[in-house]
């Protein structure tokens, strides 16, 4: 971390203000000022291995405080989140002083957002896929978390006036649409499965609480959508394998692909948590599968990830047998808006 031990908190505070979450921005700025009241957490930040931005340490800290507030522990923190007072520094200071061990332990685990809002971008990319060849789709997701985006065909969408998905779904994904019109194509998802090293169970109350804590406290609509998606997941459990993605994907791509069907690999905001060796292994598996693809058994890859400089989230699509790659859109990190490049 920088010399202040918490420079990443201030950097992410500015990011949160820029993307429309002023309350979270205030929480992180107060955390920077009050961090000396949480010596274990401060030491963890100071000694963080690797890139703290890529590891989303500020988002881990914010979620830990949100989790405490949802438990009304300490009460002054819960009251702040309920809007009963405005003493951000006092509430954060009290949480740090009383719950340093909890916060430090929480931050050891990888963030779990499983953001359903990103499904809008993924579905738009799938529309682009079937525009190339009008075939049904089987989905393979890397880093599925609770598998909420494996259920994307069960949600309803308004993509800048292009309506899609399940019209009666309680989960509505309606990002602010910018740029060119979305491709208006019906996507027929016939199979969906994923992999995660530590998949989350939507039937587990603690798991659901962790996911809810990662939703920004000043975005209640997003929280309501997540709650609805968790209900859908309990009704229609996603198929997720607990495994390392590298070996699992290689084995999965070696299985026979039915003729007349797209095989689509997708991932959203997971690449930053993957080491260089694992990333290379995944790329090799996908490239090998791409080399085997043909017109009757086409392959696609959809990536919703930060660009190399972490200046923008890009929606990238690669299709085989041609192997061409396009940046389809620039997106809000949580899918709140999509700028479609057409």
Q: Taking the domains of the chain in order of start, what are their residue ranges?
A: 7-106, 116-340
- In whole numbers, what is the pLDDT of the chain averaged over residues? 94
Dist CA 282 CA 277 (whole Å): 9
pLDDT tens for 276-314 read 899 999 999 999 999 999 999 999 999 999 998 889 999
| 146 has pLDDT over 90 | yes
6 has a pLDDT exceeding 70: no
Rounded CA gap, 87 and 258, in Å? Answer: 60
As a whole number, mean pLDDT of residues 73-82 equals 98
How much is the pTM? 0.87
pLDDT at residue number 54: 83
Contact between 275 and 50 under an 8 Å Cβ cutoff? The reply is no
Which pLDDT score, from 0 to 100, does residue 9 have? Answer: 96
In this prediction, residue 342 carries a pLDDT of 75
Q: Using CA atoms, how far apart are residues 76 and 56, in angstroms rounded to an integer?
A: 26
Give the integer Cα–Cα distance in Å for 144 and 160. Answer: 27
Which tokens belong to 271?
Answer: 């690449």
Going by C-alpha positions, the residue among 210, 240, 220 that lies closest to residue 66 is 210
Which parts of the chain fold into alpha helices (H)? 7-18, 22-34, 39-46, 57-70, 75-81, 88-106, 119-132, 205-213, 220-235, 245-254, 276-292
The H-or-E segment that residue 261 falls in is none
pLDDT-derived band of residue 199, with 50, 70 and 90 as boundaries?
very high
> Mean pLDDT over residues 191-201, rounded?
94
**CA dihedral angle for residue 314, residue 119, residue 143, residue 154, rounded to 10 degrees:** -160
Q: Is the peptide bond before 91 cis (omega within 30 degrees of 0)?
A: no
Is residue 232 within 8 A of residue 169, CB to CB? The reply is yes
Residue 27 has pLDDT above 90, yes or no: yes
pLDDT for the residue 195 = 97
Question: Nearest 5°: CA angle at 252, between 246 and 253?
Answer: 90
Per-residue pLDDT, 1: 39
Helices (H) then strands (E): counts for the chain = 11, 12
Q: Is the pLDDT of residue 3 over 50?
A: no
Q: Is the pLDDT of residue 249 over 90?
A: yes
Mean pLDDT within 162-183: 96
DSSP state of 216: -
**Six-digit token pair at 117?**
């809002």
Query: How many angstroms separate the CA atoms of 46 and 339, rounded?
Result: 37
CA separation for the pair 22, 28 (Å, rounded): 10
Q: Average of pLDDT values for 242-252?
A: 95
- pLDDT reported for residue 113: 79
pLDDT at residue 45, rounded to an integer? 94
User: Does the structure show a pLDDT above 80 at 147?
Assistant: yes
Mean pLDDT of the region 58-80: 97
**Looking at residue 50, what is its pLDDT?**
86
Mean pLDDT across 259-288: 93
* 223-239 residue pLDDT tens: 999 999 999 999 999 99
Top-confidence residue, 191 or 311: 191
Q: Is the pLDDT of residue 5 over 80?
A: no
Q: Yes or no: say if 305 and 267 are a contact pair by the CB < 8 Å rule.
A: yes
> Region 24-35: what's the mean pLDDT?
98
What percent of the chain is predicted at pLDDT more than 70? 98
d(CA 198, CA 232) in angstroms, rounded, equals: 20
Least confident of 3-12, 39-48, 120-129, 136-145: 3-12
Q: What percent of the chain has pLDDT over 90?
A: 88
Quick one: pLDDT band at residue 2, thresholds 50, 70, 90?
Answer: very low
What pLDDT is attached to residue 89?
98
C-alpha closest to that of 209 among 218, 221, 200: 200
Checking if the pLDDT of 4 tops 60, the result is no
């Amino acid at each position: 971390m920088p010399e202040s031990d918490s420079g990443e908190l201030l950097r992410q505070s500015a990011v949160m203000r820029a993307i429309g979450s002023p309350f979270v921005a205030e929480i992180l700025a107060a955390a920077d000022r009050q961090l000396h009241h949480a010596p274990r957490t401060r030491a963890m930040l100071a000694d963080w291995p690797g890139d703290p931005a890529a590891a989303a340490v500020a988002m881990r800290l914010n979620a830990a405080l949100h989790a405490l507030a949802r438990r009304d522990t300490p009460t002054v923190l819960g009251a702040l989140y309920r809007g009963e007072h405005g003493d951000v520094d006092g509430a954060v200071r009290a949480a740090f002083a009383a719950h340093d061990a909890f916060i430090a332990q929480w931050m050891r685990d990888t963030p779990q957002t499983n953001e359903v809002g990103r499904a809008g971008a993924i579905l738009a990319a799938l529309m682009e896929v079937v525009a190339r060849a009008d075939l049904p789709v089987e989905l393979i997701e890397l880093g599925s978390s609770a598998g909420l985006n494996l259920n994307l065909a069960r949600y309803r969408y308004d993509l800048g006036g292009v309506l899609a998905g399940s019209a009666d779904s309680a989960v509505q994904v309606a990002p602010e649409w910018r740029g060119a019109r979305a491709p208006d194509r019906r996507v027929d998802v016939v199979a969906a499965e994923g992999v995660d090293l530590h998949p989350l169970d939507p039937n587990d109350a603690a798991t659901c609480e962790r996911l809810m804590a990662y939703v920004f406290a000043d975005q209640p609509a997003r929280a309501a959508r997540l709650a609805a998606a968790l209900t859908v997941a309990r009704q229609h459990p996603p198929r997720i394998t607990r495994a390392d993605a590298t070996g699992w994907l290689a084995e999965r791509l070696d299985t026979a692909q039915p003729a007349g069907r797209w095989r689509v690999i997708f991932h959203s905001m997971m690449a930053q948590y993957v080491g260089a060796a694992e990333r290379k292994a995944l790329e090799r598996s996908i490239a090998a599968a791409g080399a085997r693809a043909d017109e009757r058994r086409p392959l696609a890859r959809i990536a919703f990830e930060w660009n190399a400089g972490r200046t923008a989230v890009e929606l990238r699509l690669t299709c085989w047998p041609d192997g061409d790659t396009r940046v389809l859109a620039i997106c809000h990190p949580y899918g709140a808006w999509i700028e479609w490049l057409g």
